[in-house]
Amino acid sequence: MATMEMESLQKALYICSSLPLANGSGTEQRGHRNLTALITRYDTHVLITGTPENEAMRKARCSNLLGCTFHFLSITPHTSIVGDKNFKGAQLMGAVLGALYPSLSANNLSHAEILQVIDEVNREGPYSVVLVYRLANVPIYRFLKKIGVIVGPASLDLDDIESISLKRNVQVERRRMGRELVLANSIRAYRLAYFERHLKYWFRCIFVCSSLDAEAMNARHHTDRFVSIVNSYDFSGQVKPKEQTSDVSAVSIVFVGSMYYAPNVSGAVWFCREVLPILRSSCAVPISVNIVGFDPTSEVTQLNEIDLVRVTGGVESLDPWYANADLAIAPIHFGSGSRIKILESIAMRTPVVSTTLGAEGLNLTPEEDLLIADEPADFAKQCMRLISDPALRGRLVAQSLAKCRSIYDHQVATHDILECLV
């Protein structure tokens, strides 16, 4: 954009910690969509927060994002109030006495290096529009508001509702967590919910991923400030339709997601350990499973030991993995928000089998746009239906693609974001 044009635009400040990357994780993709929307109307400045050791990586990965100015705020993690976290009771003490986001304490934000970056952001203002991405950056926004860097109203994109996500995590993973961590996370979920209760006083508009989330939060907090800004995807790309045939010599299943994210980790393990044996017992041809995503945990990498299961880690492009897949899965049992991975699969002409929670918040109809199952035997049955019925695969792909283009395309979401920010 020409300098003269930039000078005539109003300025916007976007505060985020997740890198805004078009081909990143779901959180990074939503962040990129938000940034792209801002750039279409405003001279946009981006304040990216994170720890010092990741600053070089953040700068390198943002170097090809044009049309905005980046400021990098590196915050040294705050020392835990309980010191050694390995002793019994440490996690519980931290949940009760520690800050929700310890790195963002007032003392940390008052360091000279940080104030220098904040002064740089301040000199570029004033900002007509401020958008904060995710709950963790609210303390930074409030600090900037307190010292006068931000004067006008701001909006917040929660993405996930963290209190709900953590409560679900506790419910599903309580046996694995152990008693202390269950209690600690329950306390933290309560504190997050209390924090969320105050958002209506600090922001004029609060984005969530679905109308279900918006309705629930507005009812819970007696407000109308929570609005649905759906996750979206670029459905304008031309992807070659897959040949749907019942004459297959092998089946390939793909699961895409950040494999350090607890709901994805749990889902990958559940599918491979509980669903896959049932599915293989009813299928006459070999079934391979590709688990694709950055930073897999040890629980996920151990799945490589299962025959024809491959954990790839991060990949440069998802295109070949979707092109070779007969179906995609979303075996999610906790978390909140809505799954960009399902939209991505549909855009790639790959039919989807999901749990009920995996498809939560998406306006997609079971049996018309995707297949749904929650128990291992039922999930295997739905996968087998897609494997054995090419007509069903073709119908689901065609119907879901038409619906998603009208509801979940980036252009639709961009319009909704800008309308809320006016």
- For the chain, what is the mean pLDDT? 86
Give residue 64's pLDDT. 63
pLDDT score for 84: 46
Please name which of 156, 159, 160 lies closest in space to residue 130, comparing C-alpha atoms: 156
Specify the higher pLDDT residue, 151 or 305: 305
Distance CA 57, CA 55 (A): 5
Strand order across the 43-50 sheet: 68-74, 43-50, 11-16, 129-133, 155-159, 205-208, 226-228
Contact between residue 313 and residue 295 where contact means Cβ atoms under 8 Å apart:
yes
Rounded to 5°, angle at Cα 192 from 189 and 195: 155
Q: Which pTM does this prediction carry?
A: 0.86
| Cβ atoms 131, 421 nearer than 8 A | yes
pLDDT of 93 above 70: no
Q: Which residues contact 284 (CB under 8 A, 6 or more apart)?
A: none
The pLDDT value given to residue 63: 63
pLDDT at position 83 is 45
Q: pLDDT tens for residues 312-366? A: 998 988 999 999 999 999 999 987 666 899 999 999 999 999 999 999 989 999 9
Return the exposure string of 317-342: e unless at least 16 CB atoms fall within 10 Å of the residue's CB, then b.
ebeebbbebbbbbbbbbbbbbbbbbb
The yes-or-no verdict on residue 6 having pLDDT over 70 is no
Contact 347, 234 (CB under 8 A): yes
What confidence tens digit (pLDDT) does each residue in 177-224 have?
Answer: 788 888 888 998 999 999 999 999 999 999 999 998 999 999 999 999
Average pLDDT of the residues in 369-378: 97
Q: How far apart are CA 402 and CA 288, in angstroms?
A: 29
Confidence check: pLDDT of 238 > 80: no
Place of tokens 């800050």: 99
The answer, yes or no, to whether residue 105 has pLDDT greater than 60, is no
Confidence (pLDDT) at 150: 87
Rg (CA), the chain: 22
Q: What is the pLDDT of residue 82?
A: 43
**Which pLDDT does position 249 carry in this prediction?**
84
**Nearest C-alpha neighbor of 405 from the set 364, 354, 371:** 364
Q: What is the pLDDT of residue 109?
A: 58
Question: pLDDT of 128-187, one tens digit each?
Answer: 899 999 998 998 899 888 888 888 889 999 988 989 888 888 888 887 778 888 888 899
pLDDT of residue 4: 42
Over range 91-119, report the average pLDDT.
65
Q: Please tell me the predicted confidence (pLDDT) of residue 367.
A: 96
- Residue range 265-275: mean pLDDT, rounded: 96
What pLDDT score does 416 carry?
94
pLDDT of residue 354: 97
For the chain, domains (ranges, CATH) are 3-233+410-421 (3.40.50.2000), 251-407 (3.40.50.2000)
Tokens of residue 325, six digits: 């897949």
User: Looking at residues 388-400, what average pLDDT do you find?
Assistant: 94
Q: What is the pLDDT of residues 39-73, one digit of tens each?
A: 999 999 999 887 655 666 666 666 666 678 888 88
Is residue 310 over pLDDT 90?
A: yes
